[in-house]
Amino acid sequence: MTKQEKAAAILSDPRNQREEVQALQDTIYVICGKWKLPIINSLCNGNKRFRDIERSIPGITTRMLSRELKEMEANQLLKRTVTADTPVLVEYTVTDYCQSFGDIILEMIKWGKQHREKIRGEHSA
C-alpha cells in the first residue's frame, strides 16, 4: 500500500471519519493562528532570542510574538530559559514534543510551495 493509497483509504473510510476528523481538528487547534508554525520554524532555524525570532519572521509584531510564545510555552511546545546573568538573557527552544511537528511542517512547506506554483501557473495560462 503506497502512501497515497493509504491516504485515499483513510479519507474514504466512513467508519473512522469521526475519530480522524477529531484528531485533525485537535491538530489544527494547536497550530492555528497565523504565527505559530512560522515561530516553530524560526526556532528550528536556530533563532533563540526574542528579537532574533521577531526579525526572522516578516510582518510579526512584538505583541503577537509575545502572546504566541506565552501560549506555546503553556502548551509545552517550547521552553523559555532565563540565564540570571546581567544582562538578563532569555532563550526559547522547541521541546522534544514540538520536534514531533517536524514532519508536518515539512509536508506543509512542500505542499504550500507546490500549491503556489499550481495556482499561479493556471492563472497565467
Partner DNA sequence: GTTACCAGTATCACCGAGTATACCAATATG
Partner DNA sequence: CATATTGGTATACTCGGTGATACTGGTAAC
Q: Which is nearer to DNA, 87 or 121 (CB)?
A: 87
Please identify, among the stretches 16-24, 61-69, 97-105, 108-116, the one whose residues bind DNA according to the rule CB under 7 A.
61-69
Question: Per-residue contact track with DNA, 76 to 105, x per CB under 7 A?
Answer: ----x-----xxxxx---------------
What is the C-alpha to C-alpha distance for residues 121 and 74, in angstroms, rounded to an integer?
42
What is the C-alpha to C-alpha distance for residues 45 and 27, in angstroms, rounded to an integer?
22
Which of helix, strand or coil describes residue 32?
A: coil
DSSP-assigned states of every residue in 44-63: HTT--SHHHHHHHSTT--HH
- Residue 72 burial (CB count, 10 A): 25
**26 near a copy of itself, rule: CB under 8 A:** yes
Touching DNA, residues 16-35 (CB under 7 A): 33-35
Please identify, among the stretches 5-13, 63-71, 98-106, 111-119, the one whose residues bind DNA according to the rule CB under 7 A.
63-71
**56 near a copy of itself, rule: CB under 8 A:** yes
Nine cell digits for residue 42: 524560526
Q: In a 10 Å sphere around its CB, with 0-12 CB exposed, 13-18 middle and 19+ buried, how is residue 117 labelled?
A: exposed
Q: Which is nearer to a copy of itself, 66 or 75 (CB)?
A: 75
Binding footprint of DNA on the chain (CB under 7 A): 33-35, 49-52, 59-64, 66-67, 69-70, 80, 86-90
